[in-house]
Structure 1
């Protein structure tokens, strides 16, 4: 099958989904706004994020991606916690102060990601008959760690988001959620931009502290 034909099938599926999945379309737009605000270290990412995860919980339940449903519930709670935490660590211009993680903390984060993926994947595959249980669980586990790192304003949160987004792109495309798959491709690019942006902000903070 030629690339043109494959592209045509994808575009037709995408058009159909836009008209049949209005909630997913809204969540997609909120997701774009959310990550844009995150890169700018704006605290307004949190109210936008709360709306986004609420909609995605409903969308993922319909797609039988149960790990992702639980993940959105977790995100809802952590969005509120993060909102409060960020309010306490703002610069005069309203942007949030960022930090790096210690090597020990990163090792623990990696171990927690792997253990969480293994346990959740087994549970979802055995009892919930979820689609792609271990891959879905890896996304969920990595996203939990990424969100915690984000709440603690750690630069390394973007590394975890990059890994999670790569897997998400494939999973959602396989499930026919083309808008969401496209959104996560956008998230992947923005996560790279976010990592670069936060590293630059960290360097500026250190130079300001030393001056």
Structure 2
């Protein structure tokens, strides 16, 4: 266990808790977390995860802007929580499948990664979830849950036990975030959700 992992643990936990509460400070805290994880993941050979942190920083900048500007120029109101459309699901699935396939090939041929597919799969799920988070899509929490279920055993396998514990915590926060974001849906969507789960 290193100081990098400890600080990554602390900033990661704070970031996810802030996202679950829909607090704008999650973006700068998340960027700090990404910087620590770039160092940590490079040290243990999780190259896709390390590269993913750079993409996360770019997405965090976009998400920060999106949450404060409603996702469009000249729109000052905050971005509302909403459901993922069918078209968005199709694009996310297609981009995710292509990305995971390409990244698996890259990692297996160009690096010494011992877990190319799992590293790539977790990366693909995380990117799709982050896009959804940037747009305040409720279903982004399901993608984060799936990603965490890949990350936890992956980090145990890589002897990153504190980071694995962090991701168990993330899993709980994802459930909390999912429930909170569902309650924040506009009344019609919230009613539909309640009827579907009844």
Given the alignment, which residue of 77, 88, 109 partners 2:92? 109
Pairing 1:154–2:129 present: no
1:118 matched to 2:94? The reply is no
Tell me what 2:195 maps to: none
Q: Which runs of 5+ in 1 are unaligned?
A: 1-16
| Matched-pair contact (CA < 8 Å) for 2:67–2:78 | no
Determine if the alignment matches structure 1 residue 47 to structure 2 residue 57.
no
* Equivalent of residue 78 in structure 1, options 46, 59, 62: 59
3-state SS of paired residue (2:185): helix
1:87 counterpart SS class: helix
Instruction: Answer whether contact 1:43 1:95 (CA < 8 A) is retained.
Output: no
* Residue range with higher mean Cα deviation, 133-142 or 184-193: 184-193
CA contact (8 A) 1:40 1:95 kept: no
Contact 1:150 1:157 in 2 (8 A): yes
Mapped partners of 2:79, 2:54: distance in 1: 25
User: Which structure has the greater CA radius of gyration?
Assistant: 1
**d(CA) in 2 for partners of 1:189 and 1:114?**
27
Structure 2 residue 180 is matched with structure 1 residue 197: yes
Q: RMSD between aligned alpha carbons?
A: 1.8
TM-score where L is the length of structure 1: 0.83
| Cα distance, 1:206 vs structure 2 | 5.9
Deviations along 1:101-159, one digit per CA (max 9) or x if unpaired, are: 11121122122222211110111011112130001000111111111111111111111
